[in-house]
Structure 1
């Protein structure tokens, strides 16, 4: 019964991480669509109406933060993030496993540091407003904080697989 319970927990943990990843993809995708629409409005306003909407620049900067940072955390979960993997891939299996462990631990540590420090940035900047939008400047750092949290969680998911003996890179190498 405990084996069945552990399998259920494992599946729940993996499903949670998959749903978080899907949520990041949806938010990034919707942000990209909104970004495209508001730039269309910018061009229409500037050249047809002869009245440039000034808020577009600030909204686009905010949307790009969501697209970039949430998209980066998706790369961590799906193992598609940028990295120099040549040495890991050409190494013998024991060395490759060591590189994988170091990579996941480093990413988890980086995500944790990123989350904590960007939370401090959110709190520090919350009292100032984004020009033309009149919303707190700290909102710009929320995607960084989320990326750190998701990077940490997704790296923990990879570490769980690593210690369970699941080879996530075997399809890439062999």
Structure 2
């Protein structure tokens, strides 16, 4: 089992409610990874079908391209949201980590604030796209175009949640010291 930096240790003095909430958030991030993994397998299978159909059956399945574009959006957005929770997103932190404790903590708060602000903007704009595209169909697969924008709104909300919790937990940790 993978141990994430946000999970409390077994000998933690954290309240049970906070530990339960952390477990819920970790489970939510893990669910994002599982769904992304399943979609990645489906993406590989559909491309296999594309190659088989094109070169063996001489009948190219036209739905593969559009469904693949849709799947890639879900994989990317869900993976990005889980990366915020697990602190595995791309960052260059050697400057921050070389600073004294107070500026380092301030920079961590600023980084989480910017991630939360970006996630909020992404959720808001993603929701607007969902609502604007309800009646437009994706060519070749017939689903609503809103299915392409939904991962933006979902990922944005998760990024706000995960970043906000990081900030609150860090502040609570400093309040206990």
Do Structure 1 and Structure 2 share a fold, with TM-score over 0.5? yes
Mapped pair 1:75 → 2:83: yes
Structure 2, unmatched stretches of 5+, are 1-13
Partner of 1:150, secondary structure, is: helix
Aligned match of 1:130: 138
Superposition map of 1:1-174 within 5 A: 7-165=15-173
Supply the distance in 1 between the matched residues of 2:77 and 2:57 (Cα, whole angstroms).
Answer: 34
- Quick check: which one's helix share is greater? 1
How many Å apart are 1:138 and its aligned residue?
0.8
**What is the CA deviation profile of residues 132-151 of structure 1, one whole-angstrom value per residue up to 9, with x for unaligned ones?**
11110010011111110110
Runs of 4+ in structure 1 over 2 Å off: none
How many Å apart are 1:86 and its aligned residue?
2.2
Partner of 1:165, secondary structure, is: helix
User: Contact between 1:17 and 1:157, CA under 8 Å: does it hold in 2?
Assistant: no
- How many residues align? The count is 161
Which is further off, 24-33 or 82-91? Answer: 82-91
RMSD: 1.2
Q: What is the TM-score when the length of structure 2 is the normalising length?
A: 0.87
Structure 1, unmatched stretches of 5+, are 1-5, 167-174
Q: What is the TM-score when the length of structure 1 is the normalising length?
A: 0.89
**What is the CA deviation profile of residues 17-65 of structure 1, one whole-angstrom value per residue up to 9, with x for unaligned ones?**
1111011001100000000000000000000000000000001000000
